[in-house]
């Protein structure tokens, strides 16, 4: 990092950490005015613009130092962020290439691996659709996805409420059944016979066990899906 831009970059970093991205942008631009080749200045300028959803501006800042950043000690981070910007700009081919470059420099980055897979999938979808989808269609797809996520959350809440009610009903039935079984057992003991389980009771017990196993598995799968969804959100800057 050049000495001439260090003061402005550090000042911008302090404001960026306070989430005052507009103020941070001003400091980073001052650094860039003094040294247009400043990797730190352009890289952080792109970050502040990205947080303000100026994805075109972020792309321009990153492109300004692409050659120097590719051999920088933090080149993997540069390419990762370039991939994020490309995703926002719907340039999925560039996103795939950027995440590939990031992985070449840091093969152990799990976030880069997942974003690389995601970018490839989006590129395949775009190509399968003829590559002619516009931003309006993309936004519509995003809105549909948001609606679907909200519906899934609502359905999950409703399902949890239903599961809780079913558990309560099942517990009540189990208590009633246990009381009946106890009465039958007392009668069998009094009559000198060993208690026996009817075929219907055995079937009900088996169904209850299977239902509990399915509910447990469904819960595990839902937790895994929620975890993957949260990871995806956390990959952005």
- Tell me the domain boundaries of the chain: 3-135
Say what the pLDDT of residue 78 is.
Answer: 92
Q: Give me the pLDDT at residue 187, please.
A: 55
pLDDT at 23: 94
Phi, psi of 106, rounded to the nearest 5 degrees: -145, 80
Judged on CB neighbours under 10 Å (0-12, 13-18, 19+), 56 is exposed
Count Cβ neighbours within 10 Å for each residue of 203-229 and write b for 16 or more, e otherwise.
eeeeeeeeeeeeeeeeeeeeeeeeeee
Q: Residue 18: what pLDDT?
A: 93
Closest CA to 39 of 12, 14, 70: 70
Q: Look at the alpha carbons of 99, 101, 106, 107 in this order and tell me if their dihedral is positive or negative.
A: positive
Cα–Cα distance measured from residue 112 to residue 237, given in angstroms and rounded to the nearest whole number: 13
If one counts every other C-beta atom within 10 angstroms of the C-beta of residue 41, the result is: 30
DSSP string, 165-186: HHHHHHHHHHHHHHHHHHHHHH
Q: Provide the token pair at 194.
A: 């060993």
Fold of 3-135: 1.25.40
What is the block-wise mean pLDDT of the chain (237 residues), using blocks of 10 residues?
68 93 93 87 93 94 88 88 93 94 92 92 86 50 56 57 62 59 54 64 82 79 55 43
Which letter does DSSP use for residue 72 in this model? Answer: S
Position 56 scores a pLDDT of 94
Quick one: pLDDT at residue 138?
52
d(CA 38, CA 179) in angstroms, rounded, equals: 79
92 Cβ neighbours under 8 A, 6+ residues apart: 86, 119, 122, 123, 126
- pTM value? 0.55
Q: How many whole angstroms separate alpha carbon 211 and alpha carbon 204?
A: 10
Spacing of C-alpha 23 from chain mean position: 29
For residues 232 and 112, give the distance between their C-alpha atoms in angstroms, rounded to a whole number. 11
């Amino acid at each position: 990092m050049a000495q001439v831009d260090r003061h402005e970059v550090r000042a911008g970093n302090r404001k960026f950490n306070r989430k005052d991205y507009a103020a941070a942008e001003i400091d980073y631009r001052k650094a860039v005015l003094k040294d247009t080749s400043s990797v730190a200045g352009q890289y952080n300028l792109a970050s502040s613009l990205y947080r303000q959803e100026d994805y075109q501006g972020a792309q321009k800042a990153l492109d300004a130092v692409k050659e120097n950043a590719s051999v920088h000690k933090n080149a993997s981070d540069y390419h990762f962020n370039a991939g994020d910007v490309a995703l926002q700009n719907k340039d999925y081919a560039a996103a795939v290439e950027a995440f590939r470059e990031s992985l070449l420099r840091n093969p152990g980055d799990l976030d880069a691996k997942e974003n690389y897979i995601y970018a490839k999938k989006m590129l395949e979808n775009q190509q399968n659709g003829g590559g002619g989808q516009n931003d309006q269609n993309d936004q519509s797809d995003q809105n549909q996805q948001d609606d679907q996520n909200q519906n899934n959350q609502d359905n999950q809440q409703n399902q949890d409420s239903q599961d809780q009610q079913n558990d309560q009903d099942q517990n009540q039935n189990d208590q009633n059944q246990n009381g009946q079984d106890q009465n039958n057992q007392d009668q069998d003991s009094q009559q000198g016979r060993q208690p026996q389980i009817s075929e219907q009771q055995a079937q009900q017990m088996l169904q209850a066990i299977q239902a509990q196993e399915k509910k447990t598995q469904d819960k595990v799968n839902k937790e895994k899906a929620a975890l993957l969804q949260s990871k995806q959100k956390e990959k952005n800057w």
